[in-house]
Every structure is written in C-alpha cells, then in structure tokens.
Structure 1
C-alpha cells in the first residue's frame, strides 16, 4: 500500500511538471508573438524553476529502489590504496 502511494505521488509530480512545461512554453510563444518581453521573461523564469524541480524528481526516481529508504552505515578506513597494500 505504501509503495503504491509513493508511485502515485511520483507519477503525479511528473504529470504536473509536464502540464506546467506545456503551459509555460505556450505562454512564452504567446509573449513572443505579442512582443511582450515581460511575459517572455516570466515564462523563462518559470521554466528555469521547472527544470530544477524536474532534475530533483529525476534524482529521487533514481534513488527509489527497494532498500533506498533504509538507513546505512558507511565505514572509511584510511591507508594507501592499490593492490600492493592488501
């Protein structure tokens, strides 16, 4: 049940990003046709924010494996590397 909810949330985020992308691209095109630089600038700003959000969602999707929600311990041992140090 929890996995389904996570998938629905992720899918909803991607669908919303796709809708907003279409809207802002259309707004930018309309602004260019009308010669309204403020509308074009507003659309470009929104598209930059949307790109950042899409990148964030992409990273979250890459880290959505079965064990990715679990905690982990990482140990770092100092020393020389290479096959000779073994």
Structure 2
C-alpha cells in the first residue's frame, strides 16, 4: 500500500487533476500495489489558530494592523470560496 498525502492547503488543479493522474499512471505500472489518496489540509481550525498565532508573533504592542491573506491564483471557484472562509474565520478570532 502506498498512501499519497498532498501537502497542499486547498484543493485546486494539483489535488484534483495532476496528482490523481499520476497515481493512475503508477497504478498501471504497479498493478499489484494499492494506492490511497488523502485530502489537502483544507479549512481546519488548527490552520486558523496557526495563522492567528503567526500574526500575533509579528504584531507590535498597541499596534492596529490589517492582515492581507494571499492565495495562489486559481480558476477553481472552490479555492476562492475556501480562502474567503479562512479569512472570515480568522477575522472572527479577533472579534
């Protein structure tokens, strides 16, 4: 058994197309081996907590700051939705 775990934040082209295509090719070559495929990290409270901790590490005392989240461009609408969800949850941590 070979477990393939993508170390990706969100599921875009690599997670949805490229990696599964490579797994399918490997499966043809090694038919006697079973492959399993995990999910990208995705929206998870630990990700939000880690983002907040990293921001707090860099803030100066009594400093008002804005946070800019930057995600790699993607034409996949779920990536845009998920990044917006991460931003919303991070904003909620400060309220």
TM interval, shorter chain, is 0.3 to 0.5
Say which structure is richer in helix.
Answer: 1
TM-score, length basis structure 1 = 0.34
Say which structure is richer in strand.
Answer: 2
Q: Which has the higher Rg, Structure 1 or Structure 2? A: 1
TM-score, length basis structure 2 = 0.32
Higher relative contact order (CA 8 A, sep 6+): 2
